[in-house]
Structure 1
Amino acid sequence: MSDQPIALVTGGAQGIGYACAEALAADGAKLILADVNAEGVAAAAEALGGGTVGLTCDMSDPAQINAMFDTIEAEHGPVSILINNAGIAMPAEFLDLSLESFQKVIDVNLTGTFVALQRAAKTMVTKGIEGSIVNMSSVNAVVSIPAIAAYSASKGGVMQLTKAAALALAPHNIRVNAVGPGSIDTAMMAGVNANPEALERVLSRTPLKRVGSPQEVGDVVAFLASSKASYVTGETIYVDGGRLGLNYTC
Structure 2
Amino acid sequence: MFSAVRSQHSGVDICINNAGLARPDTLLSGSTSGWKDMFSMGPSWRHPIALPGLQVNVLALSICTREAYRSMKERKVDDGHIININSMSGHQVSPHSVIHFYSATKYAVTALTEGLRQELREAQTHIRATCISPEVVETQFAFKLHDKDPEKAAATYECIKCLKPEDVAEAVIYVLSTPPHVQVSLALTAHPLEEASHPQRRTAGRPQGVGTTSWPPQALCLPADWRYPDEAHGAGDLVSCGELGLPSPPLAAWLLPLDFRC
The runs of 5 or more residues in structure 2 that have no matched partner are 40-54, 144-150, 196-202, 205-262
Deviates more, 1:95-104 or 1:149-158: 95-104
| 8 Å CA contact 1:82, 1:120 repeated in 2 | yes
Post-superposition offset of 1:241: 2.9
* C-alpha distance in 2 between matches for 1:244 and 1:103: 35
1:86 aligned partner:
19
Judged with a 3 Å threshold, the aligned counterparts in structure 2 of structure 1 residues 157 and 242 are, in CA distance, closer, same or farther, namely farther
Post-superposition offset of 1:242: 4.8
Post-superposition offset of 1:136: 1.2
| 8 Å CA contact 2:21, 2:57 repeated in 1 | yes
In the TM superposition, what whole-angstrom CA distance separates every residue of 1:4-44 from its partner, at most 9, and x where no partner exists?
A: xxxxxxxxxxxxxxxxxxxxxxxxxxxxxxxxxxxxxxxxx
Judged with a 3 Å threshold, the aligned counterparts in structure 2 of structure 1 residues 189 and 229 are, in CA distance, closer, same or farther, namely farther
Say which SS state the counterpart of residue 64 (structure 2) adopts: helix
* C-alpha distance in 1 between matches for 2:189 and 2:83: 17
In the TM superposition, what whole-angstrom CA distance separates every residue of 1:105-148 from its partner, at most 9, and x where no partner exists?
A: 33210111011001111121222112101111101012223111
* C-alpha distance in 2 between matches for 1:222 and 1:150: 30
Judged with a 3 Å threshold, the aligned counterparts in structure 2 of structure 1 residues 211 and 137 are, in CA distance, closer, same or farther, namely same
Structure 1: which 4+ aligned runs deviate by more than 4 Å? 190-193, 242-248
- Is 2:180 the counterpart of 1:230? yes
Judged with a 3 Å threshold, the aligned counterparts in structure 2 of structure 1 residues 88 and 245 are, in CA distance, closer, same or farther, namely farther
* C-alpha distance in 1 between matches for 2:8 and 2:120: 26
In the TM superposition, what whole-angstrom CA distance separates every residue of 1:154-203 from its partner, at most 9, and x where no partner exists?
A: 1111111111112211321110111111011112246567338x844xx4
Say which SS state the counterpart of residue 28 (structure 2) adopts: helix
Say which SS state the counterpart of residue 156 (structure 1) adopts: helix
- Is 2:86 the counterpart of 1:137? yes
* C-alpha distance in 2 between matches for 1:101 and 1:162: 26
CA RMSD of aligned residues (A): 2.6
1:165 aligned partner:
116
| 8 Å CA contact 1:69, 1:119 repeated in 2 | yes
Post-superposition offset of 1:98: 2.0
What letter corresponds to residue 109 of structure 1 in structure 2? N
Within-5 A mapping of 1:50-199:
68-106=1-39, 107-129=55-77, 130-143=79-92, 144=94, 145-170=96-121, 171-189=124-142, 194-195=154-155, 199=158
What letter corresponds to residue 85 of structure 2 in structure 1? M
TM-score normalized by the length of structure 2: 0.58
| 8 Å CA contact 2:38, 2:102 repeated in 1 | yes
| 8 Å CA contact 2:25, 2:101 repeated in 1 | no
Judged with a 3 Å threshold, the aligned counterparts in structure 2 of structure 1 residues 93 and 193 are, in CA distance, closer, same or farther, namely closer
Post-superposition offset of 1:244: 7.6
Say which SS state the counterpart of residue 91 (structure 1) adopts: coil
Judged with a 3 Å threshold, the aligned counterparts in structure 2 of structure 1 residues 96 and 244 are, in CA distance, closer, same or farther, namely farther
| 8 Å CA contact 1:83, 1:133 repeated in 2 | yes
Post-superposition offset of 1:151: 1.2
| 8 Å CA contact 2:25, 2:35 repeated in 1 | no
* C-alpha distance in 1 between matches for 2:152 and 2:193: 19
- Is 2:166 the counterpart of 1:215? yes
* C-alpha distance in 2 between matches for 1:81 and 1:127: 13
Say which SS state the counterpart of residue 162 (structure 2) adopts: coil
Judged with a 3 Å threshold, the aligned counterparts in structure 2 of structure 1 residues 111 and 229 are, in CA distance, closer, same or farther, namely farther
| 8 Å CA contact 2:57, 2:106 repeated in 1 | yes
* C-alpha distance in 2 between matches for 1:119 and 1:245: 41
* C-alpha distance in 2 between matches for 1:236 and 1:228: 11
| 8 Å CA contact 2:137, 2:164 repeated in 1 | yes
